[in-house]
Chain A
Amino acid sequence: MTADTSSPLAYFGVAPESKEAQLLRFLLQTAVDAIGGDEGSLLVYDPKANDLAWAMTVGNAESERKLLGARLPMGKGLTGLAAATHEVQVGAPIYHDVEQTKRKSSDPEAVVAAPMLTDEKLIGVITTVSFEKGRRFGAKEANICGRFAKLAAVIVEQHQKISALDSRAMLPISGKDPETNARLQEIDTSLKNIVEHHPETLKQVSAIIASLELALGRPRR
C-alpha cells in the first residue's frame, strides 16, 4: 500500500483512506469518549522539520477542516511539551489571579496530550480537549490518554513492520547459489535504506534500474 504523501499520515506510511487510518480514527474517538472530552486530535511528528502536523481530528468536522495539515512547532504549548518530554501532560487555562476567577487565555477548559512512541522514538501525539466550563483533567484522564497513545503507536509500528515484510516478499531474494543470494541481499538492504532515508529519490532509482536493464539488453516486463 502506498501512502498519500499529501496527508500527514504519510509520515507513518499510512494511506488516508486505509483500514489502518480508519482504525486510528476509531481509536482516537474511543479515547475521547473514554476521557469524556469534546474533541481529539492525532498529530504526527515530522523529524525533518522538527514539528508536528495535524493528521486527524474527531468530534468537530469544522476543526478537522481547519486543522488538517496545519503545523505545530515543537516548542508550542502542551502538545509540544508532551512531544519534547515524551511524557503525558495535562493542562488548564491561564487566569490572572490565583483564585482563578479572571480568565487570561482562551485555551480549552482542559487538555491532555500523550506522546506516541515506538522504540522510545517520538512518532506523534494524541490530544483530547474539553470545552465544558470548569472541567479539569487529572491523573485518570492522563492515564487513559497515555494508554491510547501507546495503542496507536503499536498500530503504526505493526503496519510498518508488515509493509516491510511485504516489500521484502516482492524481492527475489532466493537465488541459485550463495554468492547470488549475498548480492541480492545487498541490493535488498540498499533499497530498504533508500526507501527509509531518501524516499524522494525512488523515482530516479527506478529510472536508473530501468536504464540498466535496457543497457543489458533484457526486455522490460
Chain B
Amino acid sequence: MAKSPLLEALSTPLDDWWKRDLAPVEVAVLDSGIDATHKDLQGRVAASFAVEPGEGGPQLREIPLGTNNDVYGHGTAVGGIVARLAPNARLIDLRILGTDNGGSSECLVRGLKEAVQRKWPVLNLSLALKRQYADLVRPLCEVAWHQGQTIVSAMRNYPVSDYGLPAEFATSISVETDTFPDTHHIRFQPGEIIEFVALGDNVTVPAPGGGYTQREGTSMATPVISGLCAVLLGAFPGLLPFEVRTVLKHHAEIAKPAPAREVDSAAPA
C-alpha cells in the first residue's frame, strides 16, 4: 500500500524535497507589489494585482504581467526569497500596500478576502494588522484553513502591544526571525504563539529596478517558511495545513519549551 503524503513527507529529509518532481504551487504575496522585470523574478509572477483605496472601499485592479508593481521594494524582496527557495512557486503578486497610510489595513483585508476566494494554496503576509481588524480577519483565516490554504504570516518586528495579525491566529503559521546558516534550517518554538523561526537577518534580496540589497526582520523570515511550504506541497501534493505544520515541525530544530502561559496573558504586555 502506498504511503500517505504525510508519512512520505515526514520520512523524507528536508534537503531531499528538491530532488522530487515538484508540482507548481501558487504563492500569493500580499505586500507592496513585485518588480516582475527583475532578472530573478522574470517569468515567476503568474498574476499581478493592486488593491487600492476607492469609492465605497478598496478596489482590486489587475496589473499587466511583466511590470514593476512594487512601490517600496518590500514585496520584491519577499517574492525574491520565495522564488529563490521554491523553484516550483508561481508567484501571485497582490499589492495591498500603497502610499496611503490610512488605507493600507483595509486594503490588506480586501486582498486577503480575494486570496481566500481564489483559493491560492500558500498566502504570504509579511505584514501585520492591528487588533481592531481581528473580527474581520479571523473568519477569513478560518475559511482558508478549512479549504486547505496555508497562511504564513510575520510577527511584528517590534511587538509593543501585540504580535500582529494574523500571526496570532492558530489558523496561520507565524514566523519570527533569527540568524541561521541557511534557509533550510528552521526552529519550532513549542508553547509559543509565534511557532516558527527562520532566517531573516541580513538577507540578500532583489531590489526593484534591478540589483540587490540586504533586508532584515520577520518580513524576510516569513517567505522562507512560505517557500518551504511551496516546495513541500509541490513534492507531496494534497497535504492539508495541519499536515504542513506537522511536517515543518518534524524537520525543525526544537526550541526549549516556553513556560506555561495564563490564558488572559497570551499577548505581550
List the interface of chain A (C-beta within 8 A of B): 45, 47, 50, 73-75, 77, 80-81, 83-98, 100, 104-105, 114, 117, 120, 122, 136-139, 142-143, 146-147, 150
Query: What CA separation (Å) do A137 and B216 show in the bound complex?
Result: 8
Q: Cβ of B157 and Cβ of A84 under 8 Å apart? A: no
**Neighbour of B158 across the interface among A84, A87, A93, A120, CB < 8 A:** A87
Q: Cβ of A120 and Cβ of B101 under 8 Å apart? A: no
Q: Cβ of A138 and Cβ of B201 under 8 Å apart? A: yes
Which chain B residues border A122 with CB–CB below 8 Å? 101
Q: Cβ of A87 and Cβ of B156 under 8 Å apart? A: yes
Which chain B residues border A73 with CB–CB below 8 Å? 99
Contacting residues of chain B (14-53) with chain A, CB-CB under 8 angstroms: 32
Q: Which residue in chain A gives the minimum CB-CB distance to B207?
A: A94
Known A-B contacts: A98-B204, A114-B158. Give 4 more (CB < 8 A): A85-B74, A85-B127, A91-B214, A136-B214
Q: How many residues of B contact A (CB 8 A)?
A: 35
Of A74, A85, A88, A105, the most chain B CB neighbours within 10 A belong to A85
Which chain B residues border A96 with CB–CB below 8 Å? 210-212
Query: What CA separation (Å) do A18 and B107 show in the bound complex?
Result: 39
Q: Cβ of A90 and Cβ of B216 under 8 Å apart? A: yes
Q: A100-B204, A136-B202 are in contact. Are A88 and B99 (CB under 8 A)?
A: no
| Contact flags B71-91 to A (C-beta < 8 A → 1, else 0) | 111100000000000000000
CB distance from A73 to the nearest CB of B (A): 7
Q: Cβ of A50 and Cβ of B101 under 8 Å apart? A: yes
**Neighbour of B211 across the interface among A87, A94, A142, CB < 8 A:** A94
Q: Cβ of A83 and Cβ of B217 under 8 Å apart? A: no
Which chain B residues border A117 with CB–CB below 8 Å? 160
User: Is B100 at the interface (CB under 8 A from chain A)?
Assistant: yes
CB distance from A126 to the nearest CB of B (A): 12
Q: A75-B99, A136-B202 are in contact. Are A90 and B72 (CB under 8 A)?
A: no
User: Is B213 at the interface (CB under 8 A from chain A)?
Assistant: yes
CB distance from B199 to the nearest CB of A (A): 12
**Neighbour of B97 across the interface among A77, A84, A91, A105, CB < 8 A:** A84
Which chain B residues border A92 with CB–CB below 8 Å? 213-215
What 5 A-B pairs have minimum CB-CB distances, sorted nearest first? A75-B99, A146-B158, A90-B216, A92-B214, A94-B211
Which chain A residues border B141 with CB–CB below 8 Å? none
Q: Cβ of A146 and Cβ of B157 under 8 Å apart? A: yes
Q: Cβ of A75 and Cβ of B72 under 8 Å apart? A: yes
15 pairs, A vs B, C-beta closer than 8 Å: A45-B101, A47-B101, A75-B71, A87-B127, A87-B157, A87-B217, A87-B219, A100-B214, A104-B210, A117-B160, A136-B202, A137-B216, A139-B201, A143-B158, A150-B160
Which chain B residues border A114 with CB–CB below 8 Å? 158
Contacting residues of chain B (193-222) with chain A, CB-CB under 8 angstroms: 201-202, 204, 207, 209-217, 219
CB distance from A129 to the nearest CB of B (A): 15
Which chain A residues border B209 with CB–CB below 8 Å? 94
CB distance from B197 to the nearest CB of A (A): 12
Which chain A residues border B215 with CB–CB below 8 Å? 90-92
**Neighbour of A120 across the interface among B127, B130, B210, CB < 8 A:** B130
User: Is B174 at the interface (CB under 8 A from chain A)?
Assistant: no
User: Is B104 at the interface (CB under 8 A from chain A)?
Assistant: yes
CB distance from A103 to the nearest CB of B (A): 9
Query: What CA separation (Å) do A155 and B68 show in the bound complex?
Result: 40
Which chain B residues border A100 with CB–CB below 8 Å? 204, 212, 214
Which chain A residues border B99 with CB–CB below 8 Å? 50, 73-75, 80, 84
User: Is B177 at the interface (CB under 8 A from chain A)?
Assistant: yes
**Neighbour of B72 across the interface among A47, A81, A143, CB < 8 A:** A81
Q: Cβ of B212 and Cβ of A87 under 8 Å apart? A: no
User: Is B58 at the interface (CB under 8 A from chain A)?
Assistant: no
Q: Cβ of A84 and Cβ of B128 under 8 Å apart? A: no
Contacting residues of chain B (148-175) with chain A, CB-CB under 8 angstroms: 156-158, 160
Query: What CA separation (Å) do A143 and B158 show in the bound complex?
Result: 6
Q: Cβ of A84 and Cβ of B101 under 8 Å apart? A: yes
CB distance from A52 to the nearest CB of B (A): 10
User: Is B98 at the interface (CB under 8 A from chain A)?
Assistant: yes
Q: A88-B217, A95-B211, A136-B214 are in contact. Are A142 and B158 (CB under 8 A)?
A: yes
